[in-house]
């Protein structure tokens, strides 16, 4: 397969239109069989449920080339499960897991020319999403939906090398107790936009959100879960019913325990403890782990001992091991690597 003529290592994280996308429609209580199409546009009623009441959920995962030249995705079954949970919470029909994985496979195979080569650092980002399509004016769930997956090649996350981030503790809340923080719904991201634009204006890279009930516990950022390393080398990650269950974080905990022999703790993490950690990172599909160098709590700086120039040693081991598994350099646990071709 001839690859597209793209400068892979200089790609950013933006939308590049590719050849094919998958579409399936839900009507009269069932999904149609779904097709690949070249049409990148969605034409909707002016009154579509998604436009009026934000009835939309999505996922994000990557396809890439392994060391031995296979095109694969990482744990797409977990994206399928999470999208089913997201849909159910917004009263949308679920898109069946087997069909989700099949649609991922079809989209990647049809756009194989856009899957970046091994070693470029670039990947093919996949965006499954679903939205209410029929006219809805009274506040209620739509009756008709569209499920789509498009893909776009994205560049290496750490282009000029790794740069630890500076975070601020955010006074805006991300998720309410018993709300929708644990699902991947567009509404959670719409309401985070003001907070992130404001953080950037103030010179911070990201917001650290706290639990909105007590404002004493660490939750997550707008797009990644936290992972901390204690001074005695335990891996700690916040446990909360209002954070998104990150697939990367769950995978890293397994790697920490089973590959690196580290003790792991999934528990409530208090703001008060931040000063005692040795390392901190953000974990998610985009970067796997981005190191955090500094957290600012209303003017008070908490500087992680790992510093502002590199990843902490344990964070680095976790990063190297998980990316090694993803790229086929280290044997993967059963079922983690979904081979497309």
Ligand X SMILES: Cc1ncc(COP(=O)(O)O)c(C=O)c1O
**CA–CA distance from 340 to each of 63, 102, 282, 337 (Å)?**
9, 10, 28, 9
Residue among 55 and 188 whose Cβ is closer to ligand X: 188
Q: How many residues bind ligand X (CB under 6 A)?
A: 12
Stretch that binds ligand X, among 113-121, 245-253, 264-272, 313-321 (CB under 6 A): 245-253
Q: Does 128 engage in binding with ligand X (CB under 6 A)?
A: no
**Catalytic site residue from 62, 184, 217, 294:** 184
Stretch that binds ligand X, among 132-140, 239-247, 316-324, 327-335 (CB under 6 A): 239-247
Q: Does 111 engage in binding with ligand X (CB under 6 A)?
A: no
Q: Does 246 engage in binding with ligand X (CB under 6 A)?
A: yes
Burial class of residue 198 in the structure, from the number of CB atoms within 10 Å of its CB (0-12 exposed, 13-18 middle, 19+ buried): middle
Per-residue contact string for residues 20-59; x = within reach of ligand X by CB under 6 A? ----------------------------------------
How far apart CA 328 and CA 326 sit, in angstroms, is 6
Q: Does 238 engage in binding with ligand X (CB under 6 A)?
A: no
Q: For the chain, how long is the longest CA-to-CA vector? A: 58
Q: Alpha helix (H) ranges present in 237-301? A: 247-254
Residue located via tokens 């998610």: 284
Residue 184 Cβ vs ligand X, minimum distance, rounded to whole Å: 6
Q: Does 80 engage in binding with ligand X (CB under 6 A)?
A: no
Stretch that binds ligand X, among 92-100, 150-158, 242-250, 327-335 (CB under 6 A): 242-250
276 Cβ neighbours under 8 A, 6+ residues apart: 230, 231
Number of Cβ within 10 Å of residue 317's Cβ equals 17
234 part of the active site: no
Q: Does 284 engage in binding with ligand X (CB under 6 A)?
A: yes
Contact (CB, 8 A) for 122 and 73 = no
How far apart CA 21 and CA 18 sit, in angstroms, is 8
Residue among 155 and 181 whose Cβ is closer to ligand X: 181
| Options 23, 36, 52, 60; binder of ligand X; rule CB under 6 A | 60
| Options 76, 93, 223, 312; binder of ligand X; rule CB under 6 A | 223
Q: Does 220 engage in binding with ligand X (CB under 6 A)?
A: yes
**Token couple for 298:** 């209303």
Q: What is the DSSP letter of 210?
A: B
Q: Does 244 engage in binding with ligand X (CB under 6 A)?
A: yes
Find the radius of gyration of the CA atoms of the chain.
Answer: 20
- Taking alpha carbons only, the member of 52, 264, 290, 268 closest to residue 163 is 290
Residue among 133 and 246 whose Cβ is closer to ligand X: 246
How far apart CA 161 and CA 163 sit, in angstroms, is 6
Contact (CB, 8 A) for 47 and 161 = no
Stretch that binds ligand X, among 223-231, 306-314, 324-332, 333-341 (CB under 6 A): 223-231
Q: Does 154 engage in binding with ligand X (CB under 6 A)?
A: no
Residue 246 Cβ vs ligand X, minimum distance, rounded to whole Å: 3
Give me the residues that bind ligand X (CB under 6 A), please. Answer: 60, 220, 223-225, 244, 246-249, 284-285
């Amino acid at each position: 397969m001839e690859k597209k003529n793209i400068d892979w290592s200089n790609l950013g994280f933006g939308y590049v239109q590719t050849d094919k996308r998958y579409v399936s429609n839900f009507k009269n209580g069932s999904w149609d069989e779904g097709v690949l199409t070249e049409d990148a546009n969605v034409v909707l009623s002016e009154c579509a449920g998604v436009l009026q009441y934000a009835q939309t959920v999505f996922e994000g995962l990557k396809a890439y080339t392994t060391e031995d030249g296979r095109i694969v995705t990482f744990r797409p079954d977990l994206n399928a499960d999470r999208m089913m949970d997201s849909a159910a919470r917004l009263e949308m029909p679920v898109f069946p897991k087997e069909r989700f994985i099949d649609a991922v496979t079809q989209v990647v195979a049809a756009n194989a020319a856009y899957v970046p080569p091994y070693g470029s650092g670039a990947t093919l980002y996949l965006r499954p999403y679903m939205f209410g399509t029929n006219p809805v004016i009274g506040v209620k769930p739509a009756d008709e939906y569209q499920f789509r997956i498009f893909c776009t090649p994205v560049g290496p996350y750490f282009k000029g090398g790794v740069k630890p981030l500076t975070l601020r503790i955010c006074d805006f809340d991300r998720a309410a107790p018993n709300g929708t923080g644990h699902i991947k719904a567009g509404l959670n991201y719409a309401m985070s936009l003001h907070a992130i634009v404001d953080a950037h204006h103030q010179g911070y890279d990201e917001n650290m959100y706290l639990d909105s009930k007590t404002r004493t516990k660490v939750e997550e950022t707008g797009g990644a879960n936290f992972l901390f390393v204690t001074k005695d080398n335990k891996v700690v990650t916040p446990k909360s019913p209002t954070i998104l269950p990150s697939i990367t974080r769950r995978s890293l905990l397994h790697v920490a325990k089973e590959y690196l022999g580290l003790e792991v703790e999934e528990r409530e993490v208090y703001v008060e403890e931040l000063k005692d950690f040795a390392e901190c990172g953000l974990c998610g599909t985009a970067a796997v782990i981005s190191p955090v160098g500094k957290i600012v709590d209303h003017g008070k700086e908490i500087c992680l001992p790992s510093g502002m120039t590199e990843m902490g040693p344990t964070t680095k081991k976790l990063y190297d091991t998980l990316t090694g598994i993803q790229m086929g350099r280290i044997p993967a646990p059963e079922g983690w690597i979904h081979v497309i071709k």
